[in-house]
């Protein structure tokens, strides 16, 4: 788990925005792509995996449909977990799941997976589920008076977020805390960072929606950029930075990719010709992913590095499959996308880029210092392989400082 130092966390908005929006030399990553083959059924066609979550070790989770009849004559969706570099494995189907089955949404660095099962006679309920590495699972109880306990994310401390009773919840050590609505109607929590920062949305996207950030009981509404009536979001990092969009409420909907730094909205650029878009994920290095479209232009995945925008598929290693919609981004710069799924990994001959943002800088130094002298160190930081993170490794990193790859 990456540790963020106090000086980073204390940056004022003007300084943080300057760092994000291009004071450092910009770097263009390239990404290699690994694609998983479909599951082969006996006779009724192959089943493509859908990836939904990704941890920092390269493990991912998601779901696929069941083969008929050899796997099930009833169930529709099977939750899956794929270990780093391995093959997807079907997770246990929870007791009480309806005919639609279950799906996995997120996985932490301990390999704990969260998601939901469909329940009820008409599969109308979404009941949260925790799957553990020992093969056991746990169903998340809903708040009194409701049948939903949908789980959307889990951090490395095992804290889970989702929604129940029409409100976002934070589940820690078995205790569910509901986040009260600020008078906007119902809402949900979508992501939680390792710092404990939670983000979600309250209200109606076509009327009054607002993204929010919550941490340790402190609730902050995230206002849209000037000129747009609603805000929505789907990513948060350990600095409390949130990624999402400001949008209109009239048809056709127009969206502006937005990042909130110190809870203040900053509009992100889009490529020429693209007129509507959204940011979706943000990691601890400040790398952001999203998408955009425009007149005569279909939706394309985007990535913002140091505040500069790139079409993600322009950065794919030649000969590799193209990226689809990005479902998750981890803290070493890897992404999971549609199409198999496909795992995108930053390509670099430099091992000191620990965050996968194509630059060796203070973010990488923070990762290294979190392992300094510790017996439980991040092995990526031990550049000479002597079993300890020390001055030699620091010197190696500083020798490649601000290197553009």
Residue 307 within any structural domain of the chain: yes
What CA–CA distance (Å, rounded) separates 213 from 110? 25
What pLDDT is stored for residue 363 in this prediction? 78
Tens of each residue's pLDDT in the chain, 405 residues: 333 333 333 323 433 343 333 333 334 578 999 999 999 999 889 999 999 999 999 999 999 999 999 999 899 999 999 999 999 999 999 999 999 999 999 999 999 999 999 999 999 999 999 999 999 999 999 999 999 999 999 999 999 999 999 999 999 999 999 999 999 999 999 999 999 999 999 999 999 999 999 999 999 999 999 999 999 999 999 999 999 999 999 889 999 999 999 999 999 999 999 999 999 999 999 999 999 999 999 999 999 998 899 999 999 999 999 999 999 999 999 999 998 999 999 986 567 878 776 678 787 888 889 888 888 888 888 888 888 998 888 888 887 776 544
Q: Establish if 376 belongs to a structural domain.
A: no
Please check whether residue 240 is in contact with residue 213, taking contact to mean a CB–CB distance below 8 angstroms.
yes
| Whole-number pLDDT of residue 366 | 84
Report the distance separating Cα 248 and Cα 228, nearest Å.
6
Residue 401: predicted pLDDT: 76
Q: Answer yes or no: is 278 within a domain.
A: yes
Sheet of 242-247, strands arranged across:
230-236, 242-247, 255-261, 264-267
Supply the range of the domain harboring residue 62: 34-348
Residue-level pLDDT at 379: 82
Task: Find the CATH number of the domain harbouring 329.
Answer: 2.130.10.150
Helix, strand, coil shares, percent, the chain, to 5: 10, 40, 50
Would you tell me how many other CB atoms lie within 10 Å of the CB of residue 313? 17
Angle at 263 between CA 169 and CA 305, to 5 degrees: 105
Split into its structural domains, the chain has a count of 1
- 3-state secondary structure at position 4: coil
Q: With respect to residue 14, please indicate whether it lies within any of the assigned structural domains.
A: no
In a domain, 81, yes or no: yes
List the structure tokens of 6: 């106090």
Q: Across 193-332, where does the E strand assignment appear?
A: 198-202, 210-215, 218-222, 230-236, 242-247, 255-261, 264-267, 276-282, 288-294, 297-305, 308-311, 326-329
Instruction: Examine residue 400 and state whether it is found in any structural domain, yes or no.
Output: no
Q: Is residue 256 in some structural domain?
A: yes
b/e per residue, 173-192, with b = 16+ CB within 10 A? eeebeebeeeebeebbbbbb
Question: What would the two tokens of residue 42 be?
Answer: 């006996």
Which one-letter DSSP state was computed for residue 112?
A: -
- The answer to whether 298 and 278 are in contact (CB under 8 A) is no
CA distance 341 to 376: 32
pLDDT for 56: 96
The reply to whether 305 falls in a domain is yes
Q: What is the DSSP string of 6-53?
A: HHHHT--HHHHHHHHTTSSPP----EEEEEPPPBPPSSS--B-BEEEE
| pLDDT for position 26 | 37
What's this model's pTM, rounded to 2 decimal places? 0.84
pLDDT value, residue 347: 86
Distance between CA atoms of 297 and 319, rounded to whole angstroms? 23
> Is there a contact between 110 and 156 (Cβ–Cβ < 8 Å)?
yes
Q: What is the pLDDT of residue 118?
A: 98
* Bond before 69 cis per omega within 30 degrees: yes
Task: Look at the block and give the residue holding tokens 């889970």.
Answer: 160
Residue-level pLDDT at 22:
37
* Beta-carbon-side half-sphere exposure of residue 160 (alpha carbons within 13 Å): 28
Q: What is the pLDDT of residue 132?
A: 98
């Amino acid at each position: 788990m990456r540790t963020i130092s106090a000086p980073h966390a204390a940056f004022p908005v003007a300084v943080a925005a300057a760092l994000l929006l291009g004071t450092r030399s910009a770097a263009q990553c390239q990404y290699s792509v690994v694609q998983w083959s479909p599951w082969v059924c006996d006779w009724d066609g192959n089943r493509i995996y859908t990836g939904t979550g990704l941890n920092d070790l390269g493990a991912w989770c998601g779901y696929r449909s069941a083969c008929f009849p050899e796997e099930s004559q009833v169930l529709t969706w099977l939750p899956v977990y794929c270990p780093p570099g391995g093959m997807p494995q079907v997770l246990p189907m929870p007791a009480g799941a309806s005919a639609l089955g279950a799906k996995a949404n997120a996985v932490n660095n301990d390999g704990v997976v969260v998601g939901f099962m469909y329940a009820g006679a008409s599969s109308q309920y979404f009941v949260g589920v925790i799957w553990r590495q020992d093969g056991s699972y746990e169903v998340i109880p809903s708040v009194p008076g409701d049948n939903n306990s949908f789980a959307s994310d889990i951090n490395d401390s095992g804290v889970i977020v989702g929604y129940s009773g029409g409100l976002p919840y934070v589940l820690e050590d078995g205790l569910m805390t509901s986040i009260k609505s600020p008078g906007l109607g119902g809402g949900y929590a979508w992501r939680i960072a390792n710092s404990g920062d939670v983000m979600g949305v309250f209200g109606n996207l076509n009327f009054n929606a607002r993204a929010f950030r919550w941490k340790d009981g402190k609730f902050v509404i995230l206002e849209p950029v000037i000129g747009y009536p609603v805000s929505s979001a789907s990513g948060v990092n350990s600095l409390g930075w949130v990624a999402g969009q400001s949008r209109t409420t009239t048809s056709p909907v127009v969206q502006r990719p937005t990042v909130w730094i110190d809870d203040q909205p900053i509009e992100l650029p889009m490529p020429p010709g693209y007129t509507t878009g959204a940011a979706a994920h943000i990691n601890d290095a400040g790398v952001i992913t999203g998408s955009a479209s425009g007149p005569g232009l279909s939706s394309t995945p985007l990535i913002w590095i140091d505040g500069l925008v790139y079409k993600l598929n322009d950065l794919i290693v030649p000969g590799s499959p193209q990226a689809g919609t990005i479902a998750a981004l981890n803290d070493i710069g890897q992404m999971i996308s549609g199409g198999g799924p496909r795992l995108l990994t930053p390509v670099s001959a430099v091992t000191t880029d620990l965050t996968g943002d194509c630059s060796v800088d203070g973010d990488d130094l923070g990762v290294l210092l979190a392992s300094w002298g510790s017996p439980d160190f991040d092995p990526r930081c031990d550049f000479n392989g002597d079993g300890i993170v020390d001055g030699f490794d620091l010197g190696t990193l500083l020798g490649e400082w601000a290197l553009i790859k």
